[in-house]
A and B are shown apart, each in its own frame.
Chain A
Amino acid sequence: MSMAQSRRDFLGMVFGGFAAAGGLAALYAMKRTWDPLPSVMAAGFTTVDLSPMKEGELRTVTWRGKPIFILKKPPEENCNHLPDETKKRLVKIGDSEYLVMIGLCTHLGCIPTWEPEKKIFHCACHGGEYDACGVNTFGPPPRPMDIPPFKIEGTKLVLGEEGPEYKKLVGKA
């Protein structure tokens, strides 16, 4: 009697274990099926030549479907008002300094608009504001606009690769 019972328990556990393993494998396959495809991952690089840009000009380029703001800063606007650790948001490429950041509001991902006369980025979705250095000054945005991984090649900017300048900027080096 007890023999039969323990044999039945054993069979139950074997069956349960088998079913659980199969279920986990299926869940993993389902998770992977929803992952971005290799072609999507590979298309993640954008190269921009910055030499034709004028001082004070804002250019928007696309990288991974996101707008990237590139602002060539006039020398007098070097973000000195920021405390030391965030001052380094400027990138020196050639002789000029640039602000390179992902042009999405860090609140919920709308695209802020650059208002050149007020020198602010204004997000129309929830009223967030950023100063000319991309630092949040009003409203719900929790942090300054993000800096995308980049590499500098002469006067060219390669988005999607982590160069030494990027690592220095975000404190990874």
Chain B
Amino acid sequence: MAHFTKANSVYEWLDQRLALTKLWKVLAAEYWVPKNINFLWAMGVVLMTMFTILVISGIFLLMYYKPDTKLAFDSVNYTIMQEVWYGWLWRHMHAVAASVVFLVIYIHMLTGIYYASYKRGREMIWISGMLLFVTFSAEAFSGYMLPWGQMSYWAAQVITNLFGGIPFIGDDLVIWIRGNFYVSDPTLTRFFMLHVFLMPIIIMMLIGFHFYSLRIPHVNNQEGEEIDFDAEAEKYKAGLKKESKVIPFWPVFISKDLFVLGVFMIFYFYLVFYHYDFAMDPINFDPANPMKTPPHIYPEWYFLWSYEVLRGFFFNVGPLSAMDMGLIAFGIANIIFFFLPWFDKNDEVAPAAKRGGFFIWFWLLVADMIVLTIWGKLPPTGFNAYIGYVAAVGFLALFAALPAVTARKKGLLSLVILVTLALYIAGYLEYTKALGNGIVIIALFAIFYLLFFLNPVFVKNRGGAQ
């Protein structure tokens, strides 16, 4: 047994047993963050706060919610909204936080992409962050089902049906996931369990892992400068605070974080009290009815871009049906960001503005995702179907082009652009019914997917300025 001496205070007594001083140093007081960062680096703390709000408001909703198809709708819309004191507050806080948490996640992700914070030793930060994106998506989807309104029901119907696209086991898998031939009581109770227990636990573990993955490579900075954290920390501790390039997380960095958080919370509570309706679709105030599809089904805004990739393909290509192609593209869209560190063939860590073609690539990606989001909400009829196709193919084309852009291979880049344009023209002819399921389109898609999958493997790394 370790040697213990008599403690002079409660803190000292605890410190002897739990090493509080050392723990605090490691986690906060001597956790070093670069000085040269802007408000975009505060998104992590904003996300952490939003997740905490979701957990706390969720606990209060959980006390009155009833996971039963006969009771769920009224327990939310009558009991919680009209009877429970401040029940409306928890519900609006929960719904609005669930929506804005995705806004902040997207800002957080795009910041990482813009400043190249996903490569040269920071790959695990990126991957754990993407795992969080996926688990948050599952959490949002399972939570959206719980009020058991029309949109809850039909979103569940459509999303669980997606698994039917998996070859051979698809149909049985859909029934297994639902626990019935259709979305019904067993489906609601199992997704309730996922939403209030399993997914939150996994998310908490992933958040811990995400923080841990930062420790060795450290936080990136605005210029992508490589900092000797130990040397800079020594300077700071020696009193050379001005010369040092780093600051401790506590109390220096956190004060900046808390300011950004404060501004964000004003925005958040403004939405909660005055514009909660944007997170509350009117169709979801009709109780779920398996016998009546709402005229137009769409997911919440944060899923619209991938939803539009799913339905962007409106014609068959040889043996591949429009639905299969949509499913393949949707599958790719959902995992492609994981591979960003390997699609980017440039080692250089610098903001996009200093990475040549990548700057254009970044803003094209943002623009394409905005187009996908807007058209994801519009009915896919008439010319909208073609725009959806252009944006969906464009999304995949951007990733197919990324290795060529970052390795500065102009020939390869021209090839990707030419094939993409040819696909646009072929799609337009298909839209106007001027072209049958021609061999040309099949060949074009074959080349396209070949470029997509083989590009990152064959294009050599281009070392950046060391």
Q: Which A residues contact B (CB, under 8 angstroms)?
A: 31, 34-37, 40, 44, 60, 62, 64-67, 106-111, 124-127, 139-143
Please tell me if the beta carbons of A66 and B181 are within 8 angstroms of each other in the complex.
yes
- Partner pick for B158 among A36, A109, A143, CB 8 A cutoff: A109
> In the complex, what residues of B have CB within 8 A of residue A37's CB?
179, 186
> In the complex, what residues of A have CB within 8 A of residue B184's CB?
65
Q: Is the interface of B mostly helix, strand, loop or mixed?
A: loop
Please tell me if the beta carbons of A36 and B175 are within 8 angstroms of each other in the complex.
yes
Q: How far is the CB of A86 from chain B (nearest CB, A)?
A: 16
Bound-state Cα–Cα, A66 to B184, Å = 11
> In the complex, what residues of A have CB within 8 A of residue B161's CB?
108-109
Please tell me if the beta carbons of A127 and B293 are within 8 angstroms of each other in the complex.
no
> In the complex, what residues of A have CB within 8 A of residue B294's CB?
124
> In the complex, what residues of A have CB within 8 A of residue B177's CB?
34
Question: Which residue of chain B lies nearest to A60 when distances are taken between CB atoms in the complex?
Answer: B291
Please tell me if the beta carbons of A142 and B322 are within 8 angstroms of each other in the complex.
yes
> In the complex, what residues of A have CB within 8 A of residue B158's CB?
108-110, 125
- Partner pick for A36 among B180, B290, B322, B323, CB 8 A cutoff: B180
Please tell me if the beta carbons of B293 and A36 are within 8 angstroms of each other in the complex.
no
Question: Which residue of chain B lies nearest to A139 when distances are taken between CB atoms in the complex?
Answer: B314
Bound-state Cα–Cα, A142 to B293, Å = 20
Query: Number of A-B pairs whose CB atoms are under 8 Å?
Result: 88
Count of B residues near A, CB < 8 Å? Answer: 38
Given contacts A40-B186, A111-B292, A142-B322, 19 further A-B contacts (CB under 8 A): A34-B179, A40-B181, A62-B291, A64-B181, A65-B180, A67-B291, A106-B323, A109-B157, A109-B161, A124-B295, A125-B296, A139-B314, A139-B322, A139-B380, A140-B314, A140-B322, A141-B323, A142-B321, A142-B323
Bound-state Cα–Cα, A110 to B175, Å = 16
The answer, yes or no, to whether B459 is at the interface (CB within 8 Å) is no
The answer, yes or no, to whether B40 is at the interface (CB within 8 Å) is no
Please tell me if the beta carbons of B326 and A34 are within 8 angstroms of each other in the complex.
no
> In the complex, what residues of B have CB within 8 A of residue A141's CB?
323
15 example contacts (A-B, Cβ-Cβ < 8 A) are as follows: A35-B179, A36-B175, A36-B181, A40-B180, A62-B291, A64-B181, A64-B182, A110-B293, A125-B293, A126-B380, A139-B314, A139-B380, A140-B311, A140-B323, A142-B324
Q: How far is the CB of A78 from chain B (nearest CB, A)?
A: 27
Please tell me if the beta carbons of B154 and A36 are within 8 angstroms of each other in the complex.
no
Question: Which residue of chain A lies nearest to B325 when distances are taken between CB atoms in the complex?
Answer: A140
Q: Is the interface of A mostly helix, strand, loop or mixed?
A: loop
> In the complex, what residues of A have CB within 8 A of residue B157's CB?
108-110
The answer, yes or no, to whether B9 is at the interface (CB within 8 Å) is no
Knowing A34-B190, A36-B186 are in contact, say whether A127-B381 is a contact too (CB < 8 A): yes
The answer, yes or no, to whether B449 is at the interface (CB within 8 Å) is no
- Partner pick for B162 among A106, A108, A127, A139, CB 8 A cutoff: A108
Q: Which B residues contact A (CB, under 8 angstroms)?
A: 154, 157-158, 161-162, 175-184, 186, 190, 290-297, 311, 313-314, 316, 321-324, 326, 379-381, 385
Please tell me if the beta carbons of B179 and A36 are within 8 angstroms of each other in the complex.
yes
Question: Which residue of chain B lies nearest to A62 when distances are taken between CB atoms in the complex?
Answer: B291
Bound-state Cα–Cα, A31 to B321, Å = 31
Bound-state Cα–Cα, A65 to B187, Å = 13
Please tell me if the beta carbons of B182 and A124 are within 8 angstroms of each other in the complex.
no
Please tell me if the beta carbons of A127 and B385 are within 8 angstroms of each other in the complex.
yes
> In the complex, what residues of A have CB within 8 A of residue B314's CB?
127, 139-140
> In the complex, what residues of A have CB within 8 A of residue B181's CB?
36, 40, 44, 64-66
> In the complex, what residues of A have CB within 8 A of residue B326's CB?
140
Bound-state Cα–Cα, A124 to B297, Å = 8
Q: Which 5 A-B pairs have CB atoms at the shortest separation, nearest pair first?
A: A65-B182, A142-B321, A64-B181, A111-B293, A109-B161
- Partner pick for B296 among A107, A108, A124, A140, CB 8 A cutoff: A124
Q: How far is the CB of B222 from chain A (nearest CB, A)?
A: 43
Q: How far is the CB of A118 from chain B (nearest CB, A)?
A: 14
Bound-state Cα–Cα, A53 to B255, Å = 74
> In the complex, what residues of A have CB within 8 A of residue B296's CB?
124-125
Bound-state Cα–Cα, A36 to B311, Å = 30
Bound-state Cα–Cα, A158 to B182, Å = 19
Bound-state Cα–Cα, A27 to B158, Å = 27
Bound-state Cα–Cα, A2 to B5, Å = 47
Please tell me if the beta carbons of A124 and B322 are within 8 angstroms of each other in the complex.
no
> In the complex, what residues of A have CB within 8 A of residue B178's CB?
36
Bound-state Cα–Cα, A127 to B323, Å = 13
> In the complex, what residues of B have CB within 8 A of residue A60's CB?
291
Q: How far is the CB of B130 from chain A (nearest CB, A)?
A: 25
Bound-state Cα–Cα, A56 to B323, Å = 31
> In the complex, what residues of B have CB within 8 A of residue A40's CB?
179-181, 186
Q: How far is the CB of B33 from chain A (nearest CB, A)?
A: 42
Bound-state Cα–Cα, A60 to B183, Å = 19
> In the complex, what residues of A have CB within 8 A of residue B293's CB?
110-111, 124-125
Q: How far is the CB of B163 from chain A (nearest CB, A)?
A: 11
Bound-state Cα–Cα, A44 to B184, Å = 14
> In the complex, what residues of A have CB within 8 A of residue B322's CB?
139-140, 142
